[in-house]
C-alpha cells in the first residue's frame, strides 16, 4: 500500500512539473510573438482631381506634407497631362458616382454626367511609418483674367475632389490602412453663363479638403 501511494505521489509531482514547464513555455511563446511584432509602414497615395469642365474657370491648389513634414505644393490646371486614376480609386469613384447620379431626377441634361469622364488627375505617393502624420489640402482658385466664357445659357461644372488611400507595405502590426479610403466627389453644379464671374467669386478660395492623418 505504501509503495502504491509513493508511486501516485511521484506521478502527481511529475505531472505538476510538466504543467509548470508547459506554462512557462506558453509564456515564452507569447513573449516571442510580441517581440516579433514590427511597426507597419504604409504607402499613402493622394490623387487631386480637377474636372476639365471646371478647369476652364478654376485651377486647383494642392498642398501636402510627407512623413518628414516636407511641404509640397502643386497647381493642377487646364492643359495638364492627366495621370491614370489609381486602381484602388476606381471602384470607390464608380460607387460614389452611381450614388449621386441616383439623386438626379431631372434628366434634363444627361450629357452632364459625361463630364466625369474628362478629368485631370494628379497622383502622389510616399511612405509613412506608423506613428507619423501627413497632411493634404485642396483649394479652388478662380481664373478671373484668363478664362473663356462658356457658351449657352447654363454651365455645368463639377467641384474638384481628392482621393486618399493607403496600403501596408511592411510590418506585421494591426493593419489600420482601411480608414484612409476617402473620396470627396460631388454632383454637378449649375451656373448662369451671364453671371459666371459671380460664380467664380463665390467659389474662389473654397477649401475642398484640409486634413491631417496619423498612421497607426
State pLDDT tens for residues 20-62.
444 455 555 555 555 688 999 999 999 999 999 999 999 999 9
User: What pLDDT, on the 0 to 100 scale, is given for residue 11?
Assistant: 46
Rounded to two decimals, what is the model's pTM? 0.80
Among 152, 151, 181, smallest CA distance to 42 is for 181
Residue 126 CB contacts under 8 Å (≥ 6 apart), including other chains: 43, 44, 66, 67, 134
For the chain, the structural domain boundaries read 1-35, 41-214
User: What pLDDT, on the 0 to 100 scale, is given for residue 29?
Assistant: 56
Residue 194 CB contacts under 8 Å (≥ 6 apart), including other chains: none
At 206, list the grid cell: 473654397
The two beta strands, 41-51 and 119-129, are antiparallel
Rounded CA gap, 166 and 178, in Å?
7
Produce one character per residue of 167-191: b if its CB has 16 or more CB atoms within 10 Å, e if not.
Answer: ebeeeeeeeebeebeebbbeebeeb
Identify the band that residue 216 occupies on the pLDDT scale cut at 50, 70 and 90.
confident
Amino acid at each position: 500500500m505504501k509503495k502504491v501511494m509513493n508511486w501516485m505521489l511521484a506521478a502527481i509531482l511529475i505531472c505538476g512539473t510538466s504543467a509548470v514547464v508547459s506554462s512557462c513555455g506558453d509564456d515564452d511563446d507569447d513573449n516571442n510573438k510580441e517581440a516579433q511584432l514590427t511597426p507597419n509602414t504604409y504607402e499613402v497615395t493622394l490623387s487631386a482631381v480637377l474636372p476639365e469642365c471646371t478647369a476652364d474657370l478654376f485651377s486647383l491648389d494642392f498642398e501636402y506634407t510627407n512623413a518628414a513634414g516636407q511641404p509640397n505644393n502643386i497647381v493642377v490646371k487646364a492643359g495638364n497631362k492627366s495621370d491614370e486614376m489609381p486602381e484602388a480609386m476606381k471602384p470607390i469613384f464608380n460607387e460614389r458616382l452611381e450614388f449621386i447620379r441616383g439623386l438626379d431626377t431631372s434628366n434634363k441634361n444627361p450629357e452632364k454626367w459625361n463630364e466625369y469622364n474628362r478629368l485631370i488627375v494628379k497622383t502622389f505617393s510616399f511612405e509613412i511609418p506608423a506613428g507619423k502624420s501627413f497632411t493634404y489640402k485642396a483649394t479652388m482658385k478662380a481664373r478671373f483674367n484668363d478664362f473663356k466664357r462658356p457658351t449657352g445659357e447654363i454651365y455645368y461644372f463639377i467641384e474638384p475632389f481628392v482621393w486618399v488611400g493607403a496600403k501596408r507595405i511592411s510590418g506585421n502590426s494591426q493593419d489600420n490602412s482601411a480608414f484612409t479610403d476617402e473620396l470627396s466627389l460631388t454632383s454637378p453644379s449649375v451656373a448662369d453663363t451671364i453671371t459666371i464671374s459671380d460664380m467664380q467669386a463665390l467659389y474662389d478660395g473654397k477649401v475642398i479638403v484640409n486634413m491631417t492623418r496619423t498612421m497607426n
